[in-house]
Structure 1
Amino acid sequence: MLHYFLRRAFLIGFVFVALTVLAFSLSYLFPGEVLNNISGLTDIQPEQRQQLIQYYALDQSLLQQYIAYVNRILDGEWGLSFSSQQPVLSEIIAVFPATLELASYALILSFVLGIPLGLFAAVKADSVFGKLISAVTLVAYSIPIFWWALLLIMLFSLTLGVLPTAGRISVLFDIPTTTGFMLPDIWLSDIDYKSEASQDAFRHLLLPAIVLATYPTTVMIRFTRDSMLAVLEQSYIKTARAKGLSRFEVLYHHGLRNALLPVIRQIGLQFSTLITLAMITEVIFSWPGIGQWLLDSIYQRNYPAIQGGLLVVSCLVIVVNMLTEILHTLFNPLARKA
């Protein structure tokens, strides 16, 4: 087991090195002067230039420049944003919780709906409801996320008028920022309108979370269904039935636990997908997260912000995938043996 963790630690370290090399190379690949791309300063005075060149080690070899870049990243000096002239790291810290909140709720929703429906579709595979779940899942899997989002906006916002179309909370509510997550910030605040603010924040969250959770939910249903069907064909399931165990005991004690082991791996994979799809969802619903911030940075050619966003999103995906892989190994004796 120790050997496994050491190999995983080496792998994640190698990936992080490759990621920082890519981010460092972008300063040379982006249009414009390298010094501007690294520092984020748009107007560099002649007396500042030599000092900045020495600070960023641009008068040294590429290896020394890369080492200096990594040291600055570890120290939290990620340069300035071209558009706002504010530190890139502070802007990321401000917008990142919104994306993490939306993706987390969507992931929870996909598991709450996907696993039970997938199990039901496997147990009742030949029934009308089992086939209906499979058919609806296939249709939902094929729907483009932007088209699905616009349909829900037209139905629930424009036609019925029950849900808002944009933002995290109405401008009527002033919520002090504590954690960056809207609902926890409301609960931790001392405001007198917690109930009203919580309801309003939940209404703003509902449509984006449903849209974002649609794709991973369909994947989870199909994956759980196939995993459960494969487990039900195993010899130990047939032996348990032959011993006279009830259908519930067979499914719960023997089938469910083994069928859900491969599903653990899907947490990391679906979280990676959610972060990618969140960029589209945030633009449609004007959700102030890192996805919308990154797309705005691309439109503005804000190169330091693009570098910082690339690092944060990639590191998050790598860490989540690695943690789910380790979690799967801890719960699965066969994976530990392998």
Structure 2
Amino acid sequence: MPPWKHVTKRVLFAAFAMYLVVSVTFGLVALTEDPNEAQVAHQATEEASPGQEEEAVEEALSDYRERNNLDDPITERYVRWVVGIATLDWGYSTTQNAPVTDVIQRTLPATIAYVLPAMLFALVGGVGLGVFSAMNDGTVIERFSTGGLSLAYGVPNFWWALVIPMVAPRFVGDALSSIPEFQTIVLPAGILGTSLMAAQLRYARAESNEYVNREFVKLVRAKGASNVRVGRHVLRNAALPLFSLFFVELLGVLVVNVFVLEQILPIGGIGAVGLRAINDRDMALIIGVAIVTAFAGIVGSLVQDLAHLSLDPRVEAD
């Protein structure tokens, strides 16, 4: 299969997966009880005159359904839903008093600001240390780096987020406060990146161990190649499974850690507003955050597929 056909097929599959996510989300919203109706009914009951509670509730619910087009046929609502998602009309957030797309546009950069450095740190550092550990098994540096990252991986991220801001000033004084955006970018990026890097180190070491004693590595060493060049040869052969494992770990751990870190640290990203929306039952914003999260997972899978094509041209023949 030519490369452009493979890329087109993967992009179309990603678009179809996004369409399924939107459709399933609509089904969950349309075919289940609307939690906002209970809030509307409760408010109408409190504001109604004595003895008029039932009529006030019926009128309030009727007005709510009419304003949100909930009495229309489900097919019309589904078409309106899909068009609204495609045109970025995702409804109105009651907790933020703004359209959902505006809320996401305002908060998503705060999350991306620490997630992207954490991913880069984890990928480069984890792979580099993993290959180094495989090539220098048993050395003091290898044991220290592996043991330290294993400890960091085993301790929950929320513990680091709570303890570091309290303990660090005792050792470095007010130096941390002079670092711009320490608690919103530097600290969460370091915590998240270390956790991801520890997992990546384990994967990189395991994959590299399969190649460090292969004949082609011994031949490269016999020719007098430096450790850097030998490591590059090992990494080239281990790259494909490492990319797969990295994205699996990324999608499985990243979303959870984003919500945990933004619950503790004053980041104000999409995880923080998503948690508040869940607590306040802001359905429009909950759905918007869920769609963004699903979209990130689908894009990650697409990048993984394209990386496979780049690293292993044999994928074209699938």
**Alpha-carbon spacing, 1:30–1:115, altered in 2? closer, same or farther (3 Å):** farther
Aligned residues: 295
Larger Rg: 2
Q: Given that residues 35 and 281 in structure 2 are in contact (C-alpha distance below 8 angstroms), is that contact kept between their aligned partners in structure 1?
A: no
Q: Does residue 1:65 correspond to 2:77, yes or no?
A: yes
* Unaligned residue ranges in structure 1 (runs of 5+): 38-42, 165-195
Aligned with 1:232: secondary structure?
A: coil
**Alpha-carbon spacing, 1:24–1:238, altered in 2? closer, same or farther (3 Å):** same
Give, in angstroms, the shift of residue 75 of structure 1: 1.7
Q: Given that residues 96 and 103 in structure 2 are in contact (C-alpha distance below 8 angstroms), is that contact kept between their aligned partners in structure 1?
A: no
Question: Partners of 1:269 and 1:78 in 2: how far apart?
Answer: 29
Question: Partners of 2:229 and 2:81 in 1: how far apart?
Answer: 57
* Unaligned residue ranges in structure 2 (runs of 5+): 41-58
- How is 1:123-202 mapped onto 2 (pairs within 5 angstroms)? 123-157=135-169, 160-164=173-177, 199-201=179-181
Question: Partners of 1:319 and 1:105 in 2: how far apart?
Answer: 18
Residue equivalent to 2:282: 302
Give, in angstroms, the shift of residue 317 of structure 1: 1.9
Greater CA drift, 254-263 or 204-213: 254-263
Q: Deviations over 1:208-263 (max 9, x none)?
A: 21111121010111111112211223332234345x33343751452232233433
Aligned with 2:192: secondary structure?
A: helix
Bigger proportion of residues as helix: 2
Residue equivalent to 1:232: 212
Q: Given that residues 282 and 291 in structure 1 are in contact (C-alpha distance below 8 angstroms), is that contact kept between their aligned partners in structure 2?
A: yes
- How is 1:117-128 mapped onto 2 (pairs within 5 angstroms)? 117-128=129-140
State the one-letter code of the partner of 1:22: V
State the one-letter code of the partner of 1:213: G
Q: TM-score, normalised by structure 2?
A: 0.81
Q: Does residue 1:79 correspond to 2:59, yes or no?
A: no
Q: Given that residues 94 and 282 in structure 2 are in contact (C-alpha distance below 8 angstroms), is that contact kept between their aligned partners in structure 1?
A: yes
Question: Partners of 1:63 and 1:129 in 2: how far apart?
Answer: 63
Aligned with 2:35: secondary structure?
A: coil
**Alpha-carbon spacing, 1:52–1:161, altered in 2? closer, same or farther (3 Å):** same
- Cα RMSD for the two superposed structures: 2.9
Of 228, 235, 248, 2:227 maps to 248
Residue equivalent to 1:283: 263
Give, in angstroms, the shift of residue 155 of structure 1: 1.5
Question: Partners of 1:85 and 1:75 in 2: how far apart?
Answer: 20
Question: Partners of 1:288 and 1:280 in 2: how far apart?
Answer: 12
Q: Deviations over 1:33-68 (max 9, x none)?
A: 67x99xxxxx96967854642xx6x422x3332222
Aligned with 1:324: secondary structure?
A: helix
Residue equivalent to 2:55: none
Give, in angstroms, the shift of residue 113 of structure 1: 2.4
Question: Partners of 1:250 and 1:154 in 2: how far apart?
Answer: 43
> Identity over aligned residues, as a percent?
24
Aligned with 1:218: secondary structure?
A: helix
Q: TM-score, normalised by structure 1?
A: 0.76
Q: Deviations over 1:69-116 (max 9, x none)?
A: 000111221111122432111111110111111101111222342222
Residue equivalent to 1:25: 27
Residue equivalent to 2:242: 263
State the one-letter code of the partner of 2:35: G
